[in-house]
């Protein structure tokens, strides 16, 4: 797959750097006082400072769980997922959807978890039991 680029709003550079570099382990790229780039698991995130944040909408329903829309995230390998889960717990980051298994025994079985970054952006991390099922349904 090709890496993606995603630009999004954050409240400030300092707490954004702390969350993405210190907690998630992302490599920092270029930055100014108004934006900062990260290598987000092989993808390019570009965080831009803003003071205009829309209210989160938990309109997404997945296996009876409300998830925030919009959100972005990353597909990981099981070892990465478990390691990240432990880093988030150690950093006392609250899960808005606790780590859990979805679609158990079905096509698309996966582990998933959602957190908010320090600007309130929802992020999902997941790992598929069978990576060939990412686009099956």
Three-state helix/strand/coil letters over 55-77 = CCEEEEEECCEEEEECCEEEECC
pLDDT at res. 129? 95
Stretch among 7-21, 52-66, 111-125 having the lowest mean pLDDT: 52-66
**Which pair of structure tokens corresponds to residue 85?**
């889960």
The model's pLDDT over 71-115, given as tens digits with 9 standing for 90+, comes to: 999 999 999 999 999 999 999 999 999 999 999 999 999 999 999
């Amino acid at each position: 797959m090709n890496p993606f680029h995603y630009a999004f709003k954050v409240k400030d550079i300092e707490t954004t750097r702390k969350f993405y570099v210190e907690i998630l382990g992302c490599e920092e790229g270029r930055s100014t006082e108004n934006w900062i780039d990260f290598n987000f698991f092989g993808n390019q995130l570009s965080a831009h400072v803003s003071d205009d944040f829309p209210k989160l909408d938990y309109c997404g329903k997945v296996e009876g769980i409300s998830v925030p829309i919009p959100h972005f995230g990353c597909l990981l390998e099981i070892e990465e997922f478990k390691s990240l889960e432990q880093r988030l717990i150690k950093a006392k980051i609250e899960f808005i959807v606790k780590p859990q298994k979805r679609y158990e025994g079905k096509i698309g079985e996966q582990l998933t978890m959602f957190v908010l970054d320090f600007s309130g952006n929802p992020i999902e991390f997941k790992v598929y039991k069978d990576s060939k099922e990412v686009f099956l349904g």
